[in-house]
Amino acid sequence: MTEPTAYTPPKVWTWDKESGGRFASINRPIAGSTHEKELPVGRHPLQLYSLATPNGQKVTIMLEELLALGHKGAEYDAWLIKIGDGEQFGSGFVGVNPNSKIPALMDRSGAKPIRVFESGAILTYLAEKFGAFLPTEPAARAECLSWLFWQMGSAPYLGGGFGHFYQYAPTKIEYAIDRFAMEVKRQLDVLNRQLATNEYIAGGSYTIADIAIFPWYGGLVKGWQYGDSATFLSANEYKHVLRWAAQLLPRPAVKRGRMVNRVSGEPAMQLHERHEASDFETKTQDKMANPA
Ligand SMILES: N[C@@H](CCC(=O)N[C@@H](CS)C(=O)NCC(=O)O)C(=O)O
């Protein structure tokens, strides 16, 4: 193993604003807002403030799935929050999510607006509000929520651990990459074994567990995350995860949900804000006019 750069932690940690990492300009050791900024409000009952990262996609896929089922109350305005520019620290956003992270949802359908933050809480809130994608039978519900919470607890090892040290850290540290590659491969094996005998994550039906896990681990095996990490992690070995990801990808709601609030990649796949179902049609026309 190569020796990591020697570092002796001081007695008390202090904030080095120039630490140089990719997220150095937005990472802060303190909570709260940095500036006054109200959030825009559109005409639909649900107002989403987000960005098409895997955590953001969970909610837009869920909303598009609800609309596909005919739940008109799931109509939403999706506003872009540019986290690279620090928009998550505006006072309005902090009012919806005191943790300053996308996604954040305001339900304005009732007499008093209801705020919901944390993607797992948003998925559960929407599933309960519309009675969809979360089984009501106790055993099936427990299985679905177990996998949802599995995702919430596991993904930080994939994104904040493996993804950060493999792709973004200014120096490549073998110890850190090894530790998190090992954990992520173990997580992929957990999913692979579950999907060997189950069509969907929580059993025979498509649920919020699939919607939460797909953007993270489906995206990983599909090669959408962290450079060449799919090769590095031998993603091709996880055949049942690949089968499941290939099964979910053609769902129209998954395709639409992945486009909303997207600001990178193929321009025709980027719908920076979503206010009407017809917003996707313009994008489809763009794609037909400029096929990739
Ligand atoms: N546990 C949270 C994590 C949300 C999260 O980490 N969001 C990231 C983007 S994927 C973010 O907003 N980062 C901005 C920042 O850390 O300042 C959830 O699932 O909603």
Instruction: Give residue 97 CA to ligand 1 midpoint distance, Å.
Output: 10
pLDDT of residue 26: 83
Site residues for ligand 1, CB cut-off 6 Å: 26, 53, 55, 83, 88, 100-103, 118-119
Any domain includes 246: yes
Any domain includes 178: yes
Q: Print the domain residue range for 175.
A: 138-255
Q: pLDDT for 169-196, tens place per residue?
A: 999 999 999 999 999 999 999 999 999 9
Any domain includes 104: no
Any domain includes 69: no
pLDDT of residue 281: 87
Bridge partners, residue 107, by sequence: 46, 114
CA of 51, closest atom in ligand 1: 9
Nearest to 154 by CA among 197, 190, 206: 190
Any domain includes 166: yes
Q: What is the CA radius of gyration of the chain?
A: 20
Instruction: Give residue 169 CA to ligand 1 midpoint distance, Å.
Output: 18
Instruction: Give residue 27 CA to ligand 1 midpoint distance, Å.
Output: 11
Inform me whether the pLDDT recorded for 283 exceeds 90.
Answer: no
With H, G, I as helix, E, B as strand and everything else as coil, classify residue 188.
helix
Inform me whether the pLDDT recorded for 203 exceeds 50.
Answer: yes
With H, G, I as helix, E, B as strand and everything else as coil, classify residue 207.
coil
pLDDT of residue 27: 87
CA of 160, closest atom in ligand 1: 6
Mean pLDDT of the region 206-213: 99
CA-nearest residue, atom 15 of ligand 1: 101
With H, G, I as helix, E, B as strand and everything else as coil, classify residue 59.
helix
pLDDT of residue 288: 61
Any domain includes 176: yes
Nearest to 176 by CA among 189, 153, 157: 157
CA-nearest residue, atom 4 of ligand 1: 101
Q: pLDDT for 211-269, tens place per residue?
A: 999 999 999 999 999 999 999 999 999 999 999 999 999 999 999 999 999 999 999 99
Burial of residue 281 (number of CB atoms within 10 Å: 0-12, 13-18, 19+):
exposed
Any domain includes 102: no
Any domain includes 6: no
Q: pLDDT for 65-112, tens place per residue?
A: 999 999 999 999 999 999 999 999 999 999 999 999 999 999 999 999
pLDDT of residue 53: 98
CA-nearest residue, atom 11 of ligand 1: 101
Contact 62, 208 (CB under 8 A): yes
Bridge partners, residue 105, by sequence: 48, 116
User: In the sheet where 76-80 sits, what is the strand order?
Assistant: 76-80, 46-50, 104-107, 114-117
Counting the structural domains of the chain, the total is 1
Whole-angstrom distance, CA of residue 107 vs CA of residue 142: 26
Q: How confident is the model at residue 124 (pLDDT cuts 50, 70, 90)?
A: very high
pLDDT of residue 182: 98
Assign residue 157 the CATH number of its domain: 1.20.1050.10
pLDDT of residue 292: 47
Instruction: Give residue 55 CA to ligand 1 midpoint distance, Å.
Output: 7
CA-nearest residue, atom 14 of ligand 1: 101
pLDDT of residue 153: 98
